[in-house]
Amino acid sequence: MSAFVSAGGRGTGRRVAIVLACAGVAALAAVVAPLVGFELEAGHIGILGRRALDPSTLDHTILWLRVPRVLAALLVGGALAGAGCALQALLRNPLAEPYTLGISSGSSLAAVIAIRLGVAGALGGAGVGGAALLGALVTLVLVWQLARVGRSLPPATLILAGVTLSMFCSAASVLIQTTSDFAEVSRMLRWMMGGLGDMRLVTVGWSALPIAAGLLLLIAYARELDALAAGAEAAASVGVAVGRTQIVVFGVASLLVGAAIALAGPIGFVGLIVPHALRALIGSGHRALLPASIFAGGALLVACDTLARVVIAPGELPTGAITAVLGAPFFVGILVAQKRRAVMWT
């Protein structure tokens, strides 16, 4: 856990430069991604040109179908990476990520129930998204009640509570699918793979406010996260209200994950890959690590979503499948690296 307890002596100027570079990459991705994809008129992968600026052309229509999903990818990627960064500090574990604590499984179970009850047919995607957010809230309360000891949330009990609820929710989702017809199961599986298709600007706009507020609140707790990463006793010794900080950070991170899932479905590994990779470059100080993770997470998910659109164009892969393909080897790499370090110290 040494990566969590030292800032590495890196200069402030270098950290600021990396944060600005991440912001620049995110901005560049947001500009370029809507222009890249399958062109109906040309019949191949290409880049939209000046015709996209003419409202009477098909290129313009395609551009404005892509813009909302790119903005949604920035929001969801930033929310997941920011939440993952905070949870890794809270749990003092580089393998922690937003889906470790059962929030994803709880949201997915609520969405599956909504689809089974016909909410998707009555209210569309907004109804399923709302159910997913409600599922995240309920799971958050249950995990908090199971894990808390007095006013604190010990990392070990928090992980155990999250894993237990995750297994229960996953099993319940499977049981519900076995009682559903083919069309319902198809909708459930499509939603559970995660994706950003059929996104609308108004939906992105409503989601932007709570996600931005949650991310700003996490950044405001950067000093406390630095202290918590060194351990509860060390944090208390420098004046951090450990119990309150744990509850606030856990609650905000979980709600960010719930909002992201409500918008795009469960998309994994972004909250694991981005903070862990950036920590090696920027150090463990959260004043720089958190904003860098947010920008880089958004850029990564935009890239993954663009890849999902073009790999089998004119068809489309689930964005969650792309992040899983990238994230699984990265996860294994972290485990192997930790195993080697453990062998060296024995």
DSSP 245-307: HHHHHHHHHHHHHHHHHHHH----SHHHHHHHHHHHHH-S-HHHHHHHHHHHHHHHHHHHHHH
Q: What pLDDT sits at residue 7?
A: 42
Q: What pLDDT sits at residue 9?
A: 44
Q: What pLDDT sits at residue 123?
A: 63
Flag residues of the chain having pLDDT under 70. 1-10, 40-44, 120-125, 335, 338-339, 341-346
Condensed to tens digits (0 to 9), the pLDDT of residues 261-312 reads 989 988 988 998 899 889 888 988 999 999 999 999 999 999 999 999 998 8
CA 246-247-250 angle, 5° bins: 80
SS3 98: coil
C-beta atoms surrounding 291 within 10 Å: 25
- Rounded to two decimals, what is the model's pTM? 0.88
* Phi, psi dihedral angles at 265 (to 5 degrees): 80, 175
Task: Enumerate domains of the chain plus CATH numbers.
Answer: 2-344 (1.10.3470.10)
Choose among 322, 292, 235: nearest CA to 84: 292
Residue length of the chain: 346
